[in-house]
Chains A and B, each alone.
Chain A
Amino acid sequence: MSILVGPETRLMVSGLTGREGSFHGLNNRRYGTDLVAGVTPGKGGQDVEGVPIYDTARAAVAETGANTSMIFVPPRFAADAIFEAADAGVELIICISEGIPAHDMLRVYTHLRRGSTRLIGPNCPGVLSPGKANVGIIPAHFFSEGGVGLVSRSGTLTYQIGNELAQRGFGNSTIVGIGGDPVVGSSFIDVIERFEADPQTELIVMCGEIGGDEEERTAEYVAESVSKPVVGYIAGFTAPPGKTMGHAGAIISGSRGTAQAKAEALEAKGVRVGRTPTEVADIAAEVLGAKV
């Protein structure tokens, strides 16, 4: 097993005819993901290396049975593309686009909460289940199948930690980038809940950063509802307050959202927090090694 994406994924891509969309969409197909359709208004009837393009998401779903949508369109069109994919009835939307206005995401989030469509992202690297399917921009060649579920607000930091785990011989069930924006479709808790239920996942690594209070909430949730070991990492101990550190959501507001507070909240609930990516991998290896 794995979570969110796997052999059952039938992927359509909004923006497959764009430069980035085609590069990564076709990369995902080469990895083995079942890429069934692209959506670009006005380009219906064309194809991208044999993948049929439709004018609307509704037509793409009707013709191909797509159940997962990847959004790869410029930020000003992204909210509309998410609404369209949800309206067409896909189960999962993964939005890679970065720079979507926060109010747009608020409306998207509020709408999706009322239905059953799940959103991952935006401003995220996507979801990879090694050996099964890759939806997004995660460089899959670093990762192999295994028992570590990895969930993160950051892309490259995930690769760093995943690679350190790989060097110690540990693979991944699924790697989920939830995104670096203030409002994202799925939280750490949403993803950890699935890892808890996934038989392949033996250990969960969560990779947080400054801003907001998701890590603190996750600490509570892990203490109450998670039986599998969880190892944490928080980036941004040296970040000054009031400055946006690259990700729109990575900002300390007044005294709130600091790395220190997050690490302490997690440790108070028994989650071991590594102070460097290397230490995270060491702790994970120690916990998994002890289990084998």
Chain B
Amino acid sequence: MDLLEYQGKQLFKRHGVPVPEGMPASSVSEALEAADGLGYPVVVKAQVLIGGRGKAGGIKLAKDREDVERAASAILGMDIRGHTVHELYVEKASDIAEEYYAAVVFDRSAKAPMVMLSRQGGMDIEAVAEEDPTAIAVVHVDALVGFRDFHARRLCFEAGIAGDVRGPVGALLGKLYETFVAEDAMLVEVNPLLITGERQVVALDAKVTVDGNALYRHPETGALRNAGADDEQEAMARERGLTFVKLDGNIGILGNGAGLVMSTLDVVAQAGGEPANFLDAGGGSKAEAIVNAVEVILSNPKVDAVLFNIFGGITRCDEVAGGLVTAFGQLQPKVPFVVRLDGTNDQEGRRILADASLRGVWIEETMLGAAARVVELAGAP
């Protein structure tokens, strides 16, 4: 789960990472109130979960009330690479002398936290890594030993941090690591890490991703569901406890098990079709889950046909079939369904479907046959 900048900074503050003073605002009047409270000049920043805000005009310096009003009205509602701005962050303007980069990353390849530091901040770090990998100092931390002073010293020396700020930069890294562990983060990134004219060290931006599986330990963070962060259909699926990802095509997909559903999308694409979604109905799919899933899939008006691809392990094909019959009764779909049932109780499942003689339901024996059939029925997207 990705957090907005100001939400990330709230976590930073909790763990002593220095950040500029600021206030979130969701209207022009709130922005003015925030700026008045903070004192001018301020920076008005779009709060969206995508990079490149500055270039898109989503970050503006404001030296008085008039500026704030103009900036806030311009940025609220702005579209930044497909993300609508619903919230602003009004922050006291900082005096920028140097811009560094710092991050703690959950490195799944090394299976260890990785801490990074560079003097080349304020720009795309992947571009820095490509151009001059030696400009980024990196250490891997043993998860049971934790981040130690020597890690901080090593990073500062290897990154060539100026002597007068080595202490505070090192201390900030320690607190970033603390944030990373204590908040169950997968990523904590500060770009830029600011050195002010008075040689203060401040986190000017915050990009934080937290582990959705650990939210039970962080109820406050879990409550931060961002307006506009999710697609409407994805939000609907989540409320019903379904694993769902929206895609661009016109063929609705339901399967059981993440790998099989991914594979189903691929096979449909190979047959010339375009999937409209990923939906994993999960192990042991019960009738109610199937009804819910069908409802979510059909809520997308682009869907021209639906493919059910079930390989029953724990999931029983007869229960899936029963769920589909119930769903047809309740929802009366207008688009054709192709159903492939294999595995546990597959014959009973197929018999239930045959007995119900649902209109617009095709039963296929194989995954490839089902994919070809649904592509034919859906037609061009």
Greatest chain B CB density within 10 A among A238, A243, A278 is at A238
Contact of A103 with B313 in the complex, beta carbons under 8 Å: no
Closest to B186 in A: A102
Contact of B143 with A277 in the complex, beta carbons under 8 Å: no
Contact of A183 with B313 in the complex, beta carbons under 8 Å: no
Across-interface contacts of B280 in A (CB, < 8 A): 246
Instruction: Give the interface size bracket for B toward A.
Output: 35 or more
Across-interface contacts of B213 in A (CB, < 8 A): 75, 99-102, 248
Contact of B211 with A101 in the complex, beta carbons under 8 Å: yes
Contact of B367 with A277 in the complex, beta carbons under 8 Å: yes
Contact of B258 with A159 in the complex, beta carbons under 8 Å: no
Contact of B344 with A139 in the complex, beta carbons under 8 Å: yes
Contact of A156 with B256 in the complex, beta carbons under 8 Å: yes
Across-interface contacts of B258 in A (CB, < 8 A): 154, 180, 209, 245-247, 250
In Å, the complex CA distance between A158 and B243 comes to 20
In Å, the complex CA distance between A271 and B46 comes to 48
Q: How far is the CB of A174 from chain B (nearest CB, A)?
A: 17
In-complex Cβ contact of B214 among A103, A110, A244 (8 A): A103
Contact of B259 with A138 in the complex, beta carbons under 8 Å: no
Contact of A240 with B245 in the complex, beta carbons under 8 Å: yes
Residues of A125-142 whose CB lies within 8 A of B = 125, 137-139, 142
Q: Give the secondary structure class of B's interface.
A: mixed
In Å, the complex CA distance between A104 and B201 comes to 31
In Å, the complex CA distance between A259 and B314 comes to 27
Across-interface contacts of A277 in B (CB, < 8 A): 263, 367
Contact with B along A153-179 (1 / 0, CB 8 A): 111111110010000000000000000
Residues of A76-132 whose CB lies within 8 A of B = 76, 99-104, 106-107, 109-111, 125
Contact with A along B103-121 (1 / 0, CB 8 A): 0001011011100000000
In Å, the complex CA distance between A23 and B195 comes to 60
Residues of A42-81 whose CB lies within 8 A of B = 75-76
Contact with B along A238-282 (1 / 0, CB 8 A): 111001111111100010000100000000000000011110000
Across-interface contacts of A154 in B (CB, < 8 A): 257-260, 262
Contact with A along B248-278 (1 / 0, CB 8 A): 0000000111111111011111100001001
In the complex, A152 has a CB within 8 A of chain B: yes
Contact of A157 with B260 in the complex, beta carbons under 8 Å: yes
In the complex, A37 has a CB within 8 A of chain B: no
In the complex, A213 has a CB within 8 A of chain B: yes
In the complex, B223 has a CB within 8 A of chain A: no
In Å, the complex CA distance between A153 and B216 comes to 26
Across-interface contacts of B164 in A (CB, < 8 A): none
Closest to B108 in A: A182
Assuming the A-B contacts A102-B106, A107-B144, A246-B278, are A235 and B259 also in contact, with contact meaning beta carbons closer than 8 angstroms in the complex?
Answer: yes
In Å, the complex CA distance between A250 and B367 comes to 22
Across-interface contacts of A207 in B (CB, < 8 A): 259
Instruction: Give the interface size bracket for A toward B.
Output: 35 or more
Assuming the A-B contacts A106-B112, A139-B343, are A237 and B278 also in contact, with contact meaning beta carbons closer than 8 angstroms in the complex?
Answer: no
Across-interface contacts of B342 in A (CB, < 8 A): 160, 163
Number of inter-chain CB pairs below 8 Å = 162
Across-interface contacts of A238 in B (CB, < 8 A): 247, 262, 265-266, 268-269, 275
Greatest chain B CB density within 10 A among A102, A211, A212, A240 is at A102
In the complex, A236 has a CB within 8 A of chain B: yes
Contact with A along B290-325 (1 / 0, CB 8 A): 000000000000000000000111110000000000
In-complex Cβ contact of A182 among B106, B259, B266 (8 A): B106
Greatest chain A CB density within 10 A among B113, B214, B367 is at B214
Q: How far is the CB of A38 from chain B (nearest CB, A)?
A: 20
Contact of B109 with A212 in the complex, beta carbons under 8 Å: yes
Q: How far is the CB of A198 from chain B (nearest CB, A)?
A: 24
Q: How far is the CB of B322 from chain A (nearest CB, A)?
A: 19
Contact of A235 with B266 in the complex, beta carbons under 8 Å: yes
In the complex, B366 has a CB within 8 A of chain A: yes
Across-interface contacts of A235 in B (CB, < 8 A): 259-260, 262-263, 266
Assuming the A-B contacts A277-B367, A278-B367, are A137 and B260 also in contact, with contact meaning beta carbons closer than 8 angstroms in the complex?
Answer: no
Contact with A along B176-195 (1 / 0, CB 8 A): 00000100101000000000
Contact of B344 with A155 in the complex, beta carbons under 8 Å: no
Contact of B313 with A138 in the complex, beta carbons under 8 Å: yes
In Å, the complex CA distance between A235 and B112 comes to 26
Contact of A246 with B243 in the complex, beta carbons under 8 Å: yes
In the complex, B376 has a CB within 8 A of chain A: no
In the complex, B77 has a CB within 8 A of chain A: no
Contact of A240 with B367 in the complex, beta carbons under 8 Å: no
In the complex, B217 has a CB within 8 A of chain A: yes
In Å, the complex CA distance between A245 and B263 comes to 11
In the complex, B283 has a CB within 8 A of chain A: yes
In Å, the complex CA distance between A142 and B314 comes to 12
In the complex, A13 has a CB within 8 A of chain B: no
Q: How far is the CB of A28 from chain B (nearest CB, A)?
A: 13
A-B pairs, 10 with minimum CB distance:
A154-B259, A246-B258, A156-B257, A157-B259, A101-B214, A235-B262, A156-B260, A182-B108, A139-B313, A106-B143
Contacts beyond the supplied A240-B247, A247-B259: 18 A-B pairs with Cβ under 8 Å? A99-B213, A102-B214, A104-B214, A106-B112, A125-B313, A138-B313, A139-B313, A160-B263, A182-B106, A211-B108, A235-B260, A236-B262, A238-B247, A245-B262, A246-B262, A250-B258, A276-B270, A277-B263
- A residues adjacent to B (C-beta < 8 A): 75-76, 99-104, 106-107, 109-111, 125, 137-139, 142, 152-160, 163, 180, 182-183, 207, 209-213, 233, 235-240, 243-250, 254, 259, 275-278
